[in-house]
Structure 1
Amino acid sequence: MAMSLNDEQYDQSVVDQRAQSVAHLFVDRVAASSGEKAFGHPDGEGWSWLTWAQVDERVRRIGAGLVTLGVEPQDRVAIASSTRLEWVLADLAVMLAAGATTTIYPTTTAEDVQYILADSGSKVVFAENDEQATKLRTLRESVADVRKVVLFDGEGDGDWVIGLADLEAAGAQLLSEQPDVLDARIAGIGSQDLSTLIYTSGTTGRPKGVQLPHDAWAYEAAAVDATGLLDQDDLQFLWLPLAHVFGKMLLTLPLQIGFPTAIDGRVDKIIENLPVVKPTWMGAAPRIFEKVYGRITTMMADEGGAKAKMFDWASGVATDASNVRADGGKPGGALALKHSVADKLVLHKIRDRFGGRVRFFISGSAALNPDVARWFDAMGLPILEGYGLTETSAAAFVNRPYPGANQIGTVGWPLPGTEVKIAEDGEILVKGPGVMQGYRGLDDATAEALVDGWLHTGDIGELLPTGHLRITDRKKDLFKTSNGKYVAPSVIESLFKGICPYASQLVIEGDGRKFVSALVTLDEDGIVEWGAHHGMQDADYQTIVTSDACRAMVQGHIDELNTKLNRWEQIKRFIILPRDLTIEDGEITPSLKLKRKVVTGKYRTELDGLYVD
């Protein structure tokens, strides 16, 4: 039987006795685990690791360097960089200097960077490289509060832009003169002092600065720790953008729990890194799981013959075993025997692609297709889907890994200390220590989002009898056709990605229209391989996706999708776009979330054409 929230056992004292600040968390971790591995990073052809003591040494030099630049308690310090070791060091240094980190994606446009820096009042900016520094130089006159730009890669110009080594040298000098300068700062940090200012992705309008205090992060880390999900023997692989709230939370967990973390933000290196790093867990966005699922299933289908039959048989057996586990049981008898054979012949090879030690993945930032989740679970790689917002410091809910507790199609139970209720219109309301203080400088928006301590999430959902939360859709994304029928686009879009292994994006349209239509993009690697098997060797992406054969293939998957939908939800017409959606073109966020209004606005003429009889 499925477990209930009432069945969960956790140590409430871990939450009640949480650290005063992120800086205190770090100091306590260094004291407890000084000689243990902390953070690993790519180094040439291999990986190098720093111990907690070595991290502490560098972080203190950088933190003291910030003090020499005039950073005062709760002053904002921005980081404009991809995920890498230096991001971690800079963020921790800001914490020890009692500052507050403002996060900026390296793909953020100059216009939005200018807005974020001006709105936050950031005094210092850590920039990844010359590309970021060049962007900042063009903004110098409009971001007067920024005193220095500190480069991770490069030496700077000796004026406004300096190298990280220069900052560390200044910090080392200050520490030699005032050894206790950072300890005094740390002692003065209050639990409600500002720790992080994260600007929302801006899917509509200007990004809003979400103010998250130290207590929000200390709570998140303690609450996850209390569930027993992770321990010191785990090893995390972290690639998610640290500018995103999900990535930032995953950076806070090792401070609380003490496990080592391997860091490399290069998305194209994930599959290459996993067999080398051999992590026990990893957080990811659904798009990563969808790509792996599509890649493996299509590869086996293309193999044909005995290999494909063996894979299909093993997958079927694994699915049967997964279904038994989902109900809280354990496969026995003939099923257990068949599963053992399937595992030796097929399943373990798939797990080995991820390093062979993964206990589970955690999925967040967008809806995960249940069919994809079931496939991973069957392979022995369970995905624990969670849910949260920037405004909740990432996780507010997450599934649990024990039998009967991981309910696929839901986002799990609330973290210990988080409350939830469903409003009359179906909106999910959340209250707890992880909820933001408010939007910087936007009192009206804050008052609208926070009512009597309850955060209005903007998402629609339902609570199951077991306490699991199921998300239906974004409240603002729901639309009504001209026939008066409501359609939830993200549910349909997620469903399609489990049906079509070549799908990258499906964007549903139909607000005020007489039927539902869609924009389709396909995974470039997968569709090029498909083309090679269908008489289009060496053809480029655009040639393949605009071919009659490709359209017929997609039409077949759309037809299958429509059998699973109500009549008014079914896709009557669609366009396959000549290219995939990208972060660089502003069509998806750096956390791989669709910017629906941007995309439908960009292709408005083409969509309108679908409704011309």
Structure 2
Amino acid sequence: MKNLLRTFDILPFVLNKYPQEVAIAGIEANNNNTWKRYSSQDFYDIVQYVSSGLLEMGFRQGDKIASITTNIPEWNFLDMGMSQLGIIHVAIYPNISQEEYKFILDHSDSKLVFVSDEAHHKKIKEIVEQSDKIKEVYVIHNTIKGIKQCSDLIELGKKNYAKNKNTIEAIKNKIDSEDILTIIYTSGTTGTPKGVMLSHKNIMSNVIATHTIQPLNHNHTEISFLPLCHIYERMLNYMSILKGISIYYIENLNAIVGSLQEIKPDGFHTVPRLLEMFYDKIIAKGKDTEGIRKKIFFWAIDIGLNFSFEQKRKLIYRLKHHIANRLVYSKIRKSLGNNLKIVISGGSSLQIRLQKLFWAIGIKVIEGYGLTETSPVISVNHANPPNFMFGTVGPTIDNVKIKISDDGEILVKGPNVMKGYYKNEEATAEIIDQDGWLHTGDIGTLINNKFLKITDRKKEIFKLSSGKYIAPQVLENKLKTSSLIEQAMILGENKKFTSALISPNFNYLHFWATKHKIHFSDNKDLIKKPEVIKKIQQEVQKINSELAIHEHIKRFKLVHDTWTSQSGELSPTLKLKRRIIFNKYRPLIQEIFSTEQFDSQHNFGNEDIET
């Protein structure tokens, strides 16, 4: 492992140690949606051809090339092919706005762009035509004549590989681990995206530190569906390749359930929202049963929600769990492919109850924490005690140090900390202090001086007019534990009380409304129904019972929109774009706070909770 200093060092290592018939695979849209599988040798060879092709096109070390793709195996060929030449890969989300595409492509100084298909080519066509920096665009999956294809580049490289082989090796030998590998632009939830410069050393230090934590190996298979342009999936992708795990890439999130059945993977990486969707479907299916079957189902779910390692040691709980496993959990595992062993969750806070349920079912869900600026992992739970604790993001990884500042902010130092923001020394100096500590902006605490627990974002914590602090993410995550609530944004800065905008889980709400014979024409009509308002109010009151008085959500408004990254309310990593949401619903928010009448305890009665 000591010789694995740069990302492209992974390829010869794994080819020698874990040669696989299926190293990576993806769906061929133009071939009846069949799987195109690449062996370890195929993978290695195509990467060499990409490097050779880029050399023929005149690209040199330090040049920037952008990619805008969905989750496809070809991303790996391009990424590794660029890195071998010292070309800096600017990996861009495939679902951002035109304004963001324009800014990133210009700011990054990209000379070439790879896009996955015609749809993405169409998105940037006008931007490229107006750019004096971008030379060409190549499409990976292309059926339009006149547009250059990625296969053309590979063929060019293959044709000239014998001539370029020694040059490629010479360039590889000159690339230092401190050289910039990639520029990844943050999702811009609070303003203009910033380009995070990460070196080979940054990312490889994370790969090496986490590969022993991941229990899967070359005998196992994973599916990959999170964007490879995001450092979370990207680093884990490198790590899975290093371990010889066969990876099947899924472009369409709607294909996940079908792929679980077909591929029967041993693991995958996800964000909490997908696990919440799985949970909602599991519960909805249980509610469709009747009589004794329904009682047994929810008894088993309750057993799972109360899972703990302490309980597991008790004979009575083990007996109950054994029965629940035979009658219910085994069927849930079967619906998820019957082979799933481990799920790594990151990107946002994971609900403890869901994590406990999946552990009880027999699927270990481990949660980690990090930032793009830290390549990304800072801490992560392991697959077993004593290095696992529910409700935390685990111990810090090897070679990374953390400390908690006086105001509760998590500070980080280690080889994973970025080189800086591209063309933005001022922003770099704001986040990395003179002693080399990166200020995460997250508030946290160490439990037992070992396990890191995240409580909120420093910049998002606000004060009510009473001077009491509100940590919005904590309350938002509690609201989202309800099957009826998909997203929520907490409000109340400098106001007398806490309130919320709530975007319901319309899939589940439609099911609930139909079951209760509530007729509606559309979502806008549905959220006005008194029965719906009352039901959501009950959910809010249930959450309020767990909160301090000043945290109580005294009023809320339902919105008929589903918040997504495509519609702009969420970032590509599914974080709230608070400024955009606030501006979009400004009249609704003003209505919430238009009257602030309090009783003697400054506490609203039930009649004051509104929609």
Letter in 1 for 2:16: A
> Residue 79 of structure 2 corresponds to which residue in structure 1?
91
Q: Cα distance, 1:371 vs. partner?
A: 2.0
Asked whether 1:34 is paired with 2:22, we answer no
Moved over 6 A (4+): none
Letter in 2 for 1:31: N
- Is the 1:39–1:262 contact (alpha carbons within 8 Å) kept by the matching residues of 2? yes
Candidates 441, 444, 449, aligned match of 1:461: 444
- Is the 1:24–1:186 contact (alpha carbons within 8 Å) kept by the matching residues of 2? no
- The whole-number CA distance in structure 2 between the counterparts of 1:419 and 1:399 is 16
Q: Cα distance, 1:229 vs. partner?
A: 3.5
Candidates 216, 229, 245, aligned match of 2:202: 216
Q: Cα distance, 1:600 vs. partner?
A: 1.7
In the TM superposition, what whole-angstrom CA distance separates every residue of 1:542-563 from its partner, at most 9, and x where no partner exists?
Answer: 3323322111111110000000
Letter in 2 for 1:67: L
Q: Cα distance, 1:306 vs. partner?
A: 1.8
- Is the 2:392–2:452 contact (alpha carbons within 8 Å) kept by the matching residues of 1? yes
- The whole-number CA distance in structure 2 between the counterparts of 1:581 and 1:300 is 27
Aligned residue for 2:212, secondary structure, equals helix
The worse-fitting range, judged by mean Cα deviation, of 446-455 and 65-74 is 65-74
Q: Cα distance, 1:47 vs. partner?
A: 3.1
Candidates 406, 411, 419, aligned match of 2:401: 419
- Is the 1:64–1:97 contact (alpha carbons within 8 Å) kept by the matching residues of 2? no
Candidates 64, 74, 80, aligned match of 1:76: 64
> Residue 548 of structure 2 corresponds to which residue in structure 1?
566
- Is the 1:114–1:142 contact (alpha carbons within 8 Å) kept by the matching residues of 2? no
Q: Cα distance, 1:379 vs. partner?
A: 2.0
- The whole-number CA distance in structure 1 between the counterparts of 2:363 and 2:17 is 32
The worse-fitting range, judged by mean Cα deviation, of 123-132 and 485-494 is 123-132
- Is the 1:76–1:101 contact (alpha carbons within 8 Å) kept by the matching residues of 2? yes
Candidates 481, 485, 498, aligned match of 2:464: 481
In the TM superposition, what whole-angstrom CA distance separates every residue of 1:356-384 from its partner, at most 9, and x where no partner exists?
Answer: 22222111111112222222222222211
Q: Cα distance, 1:252 vs. partner?
A: 0.8
- The whole-number CA distance in structure 1 between the counterparts of 2:54 and 2:291 is 63
Aligned residue for 1:471, secondary structure, equals strand
Q: Cα distance, 1:117 vs. partner?
A: 1.4
> Residue 277 of structure 1 corresponds to which residue in structure 2?
263
| Unpaired segments ≥5 residues, structure 2 | 596-611
In the TM superposition, what whole-angstrom CA distance separates every residue of 1:337-367 from its partner, at most 9, and x where no partner exists?
Answer: 3322211110111112221222221111111
- Is the 1:279–1:357 contact (alpha carbons within 8 Å) kept by the matching residues of 2? yes
Q: TM-score, normalised by structure 1?
A: 0.93
Aligned residues: 591
Aligned residue for 1:405, secondary structure, equals coil
Alignment of 1:224-235 (within 5 A): 224-227=210-213, 229-235=215-221
CA 455–121 in structure 1, closer or farther in 2 if over 3 Å, else same: same
Aligned residue for 1:138, secondary structure, equals helix
Letter in 1 for 2:347: S
Letter in 2 for 1:102: V
Candidates 528, 531, 535, aligned match of 1:546: 528
> Residue 105 of structure 2 corresponds to which residue in structure 1?
117
- Is the 2:52–2:164 contact (alpha carbons within 8 Å) kept by the matching residues of 1? no
> Residue 132 of structure 2 corresponds to which residue in structure 1?
144
Letter in 1 for 2:68: A
Candidates 488, 492, 496, aligned match of 2:479: 496
> Residue 372 of structure 1 corresponds to which residue in structure 2?
354
Aligned residue for 1:504, secondary structure, equals strand
> Residue 8 of structure 2 corresponds to which residue in structure 1?
23
Asked whether 1:61 is paired with 2:49, we answer yes
> Residue 470 of structure 1 corresponds to which residue in structure 2?
453
> Residue 163 of structure 1 corresponds to which residue in structure 2?
149
> Residue 249 of structure 2 corresponds to which residue in structure 1?
263
Letter in 1 for 2:443: I
In the TM superposition, what whole-angstrom CA distance separates every residue of 1:426-481 from its partner, at most 9, and x where no partner exists?
Answer: 00001111110000011111111111211100000001115000001000110101
Letter in 2 for 1:209: G
Q: Identical aligned pairs, as a percentage? A: 31
Q: Cα distance, 1:35 vs. partner?
A: 4.1
- The whole-number CA distance in structure 1 between the counterparts of 2:403 and 2:3 is 25
The worse-fitting range, judged by mean Cα deviation, of 136-145 and 167-176 is 136-145
> Residue 315 of structure 2 corresponds to which residue in structure 1?
333
- The whole-number CA distance in structure 1 between the counterparts of 2:167 and 2:335 is 47
Asked whether 1:447 is paired with 2:432, we answer no
Q: TM-score, normalised by structure 2?
A: 0.93
Letter in 2 for 1:337: L
Letter in 1 for 2:134: V
Asked whether 1:191 is paired with 2:159, we answer no
- The whole-number CA distance in structure 2 between the counterparts of 1:370 and 1:333 is 23
Candidates 99, 102, 115, aligned match of 2:90: 102
- The whole-number CA distance in structure 2 between the counterparts of 1:219 and 1:414 is 13
Q: Cα distance, 1:565 vs. partner?
A: 0.7
Q: Cα distance, 1:32 vs. partner?
A: 2.6
Aligned residue for 2:23, secondary structure, equals strand
Q: Cα distance, 1:286 vs. partner?
A: 0.9
- Is the 1:236–1:260 contact (alpha carbons within 8 Å) kept by the matching residues of 2? yes
Letter in 2 for 1:453: G
> Residue 11 of structure 1 corresponds to which residue in structure 2?
none
- Is the 1:226–1:416 contact (alpha carbons within 8 Å) kept by the matching residues of 2? no
Q: Cα distance, 1:330 vs. partner?
A: 4.3
- The whole-number CA distance in structure 1 between the counterparts of 2:314 and 2:466 is 51
- Is the 1:155–1:163 contact (alpha carbons within 8 Å) kept by the matching residues of 2? no
Aligned residue for 1:414, secondary structure, equals coil
- Is the 2:65–2:89 contact (alpha carbons within 8 Å) kept by the matching residues of 1? yes
- The whole-number CA distance in structure 1 between the counterparts of 2:272 and 2:450 is 23
- The whole-number CA distance in structure 2 between the counterparts of 1:563 and 1:334 is 31
Candidates 383, 386, 395, aligned match of 2:377: 395
In the TM superposition, what whole-angstrom CA distance separates every residue of 1:134-167 from its partner, at most 9, and x where no partner exists?
Answer: 2322113543221111101225664xx4111211
Letter in 2 for 1:420: I
- Is the 1:25–1:218 contact (alpha carbons within 8 Å) kept by the matching residues of 2? no
In the TM superposition, what whole-angstrom CA distance separates every residue of 1:547-605 from its partner, at most 9, and x where no partner exists?
Answer: 22111111110000000111111111111111211212211112222212221221111
The worse-fitting range, judged by mean Cα deviation, of 148-157 and 108-117 is 148-157
The worse-fitting range, judged by mean Cα deviation, of 511-520 and 131-140 is 131-140
Aligned residue for 1:196, secondary structure, equals strand
- Is the 1:546–1:578 contact (alpha carbons within 8 Å) kept by the matching residues of 2? no
- The whole-number CA distance in structure 1 between the counterparts of 2:138 and 2:110 is 13
> Residue 405 of structure 1 corresponds to which residue in structure 2?
387
- The whole-number CA distance in structure 2 between the counterparts of 1:376 and 1:253 is 24
- Is the 2:138–2:149 contact (alpha carbons within 8 Å) kept by the matching residues of 1? yes
- Is the 1:222–1:256 contact (alpha carbons within 8 Å) kept by the matching residues of 2? no
Letter in 2 for 1:484: G
